[in-house]
Chains A and B, each alone.
Chain A
Amino acid sequence: MPLGTLQFTIDGITVQTQEGQSLIAACDAAGLYIPRLCYHPDLRPAGNCRVCTCRIDGHQAAACVTPVRDGMVVENDTPQLNADRLALIEMMFVEGNHPCPYCVASGDCELQALGYRLGMTAPVYPFFWPRHEIDASHPDIFLDRERCIACSRCIEASRMPDGKSVFSYEGRGIAMHLHVDGWGGLGATQMAAIDKAAHVCPVACIVIRRDGYRIPNGQRRFDKTPIGTDIEARRKAPPS
């Protein structure tokens, strides 16, 4: 085994990876899908949503912020872990307002797609029905905080690739919400439609104006194959 290479098992499958990789990145490269929401491969992991939680050497930990160790034993696709993930997804659905039937992101939404993949069929918890005004002050982007799941992807993207710090959180606990750095809303910030932060939202909180519904039904990201299929295809593809 080359120097710097580590080996671990996940659901009984042996995976080799390089030192310094996170568990979720190593599994992505190996074609093994770990469900996730806040994790984005181009951004620094935050461990916010806990959907990627796996059982690692007998303890539960978020795969996005756990570095791979040599010889670690990981459980990922188990009934209990998937039930826990489903509960997390259900809670996210009721904490915000997610009207999938008419949402501009339907078919392209990672929260909705994960709900389908994990078998969510009906709401279990009572709805919170939060009230948030749309921030339509920006000419090219609108902000619909009713959809926000507090993943922090936009915060991270705005700080690092964009170098702008447009977004942050304000408030604590259940009252925490997405804040923009500008009196008068998003239109008063340096945000631009080409920014990375405008394109990493997993739901429909940050939306490019007037682009909605341009892609027909049946032709969106998750219309034909479940979320994670692209990652799993890497494992199934024949060696080149």
Chain B
Amino acid sequence: MAAATDDLNGGNRFGLATALLTPILLVNAIVFVVPIVNLLRISFNEALPGGGIGPAFTWENWIKLIEDSFYLEILLRSVGMSALITFLTLLCSYPIALYLHRASGAWRTFLFVLVIAPLLTSAVVRTYGWIAMLADNGLINNALSWFGAPTPFRLVFNMTGIIIGLTEILMPYMILALLAGFGRLDPRCEEAALTLGAKPLQTFWRIVIPLTAPGIALGCFFCFVLCVSSFITPRILGGGRVFLLATEIYDQAIVTLNWPGAATLSILVLVVFGAALVLYTRALRRLD
């Protein structure tokens, strides 16, 4: 490396680095730094009808956010729904992750590909697949009525549909995060516990769960954060009748053209992210 860049002395080197970095710095300024700073600023601007933004500084958006109980309601609904989905995703993903961690060879590779394959499929497609499963005329209702159940059950275009769909859509992320945190789980620890007379279930609760706790914390953090900010699936599977933070940001930005309001809600989402991050780092510290 030294030889390859030997004839570039200090000044030249700095100049070259600056030149090579200019494009990426420009793009990052245009589509990342400036828009995000501007978003923060706009949450303190007045909303004018038709997508206009008043120039004066005002606390109005934030006061409205606190005073209007509708916003508190969607905040609580988003956070509560995400917490429930995170828990369900963990329940559904943990056995797969544990099995993958223990598997080996070509079988493991094959299952691993099955886990990441859904990630390569658009969220729109997987959401659509859930409509085909859950709709009044879908697979589950048709199967149940074949068994003589009083169908149709309303499984989609409400909260139930969002919970089922998002749980499945977030599973690959959870499985990957769990596997990343399973490093400390050595089969010899389980064998030792079993040899010393522990029952399998006891081994699971006292050995496997504590050893995999860092992976569980990481997976839950990821899953919660993705869930709070997901939009496509809740919008379609909720049928426009379930109001959440992400769907409200979209509605205010695109339908009612209240950009300062949407900006304020976006900052609120980032605050929820921050709170989740604090909880996650605290949990990690306690585990160590």
The answer to whether A and B assemble together is: no
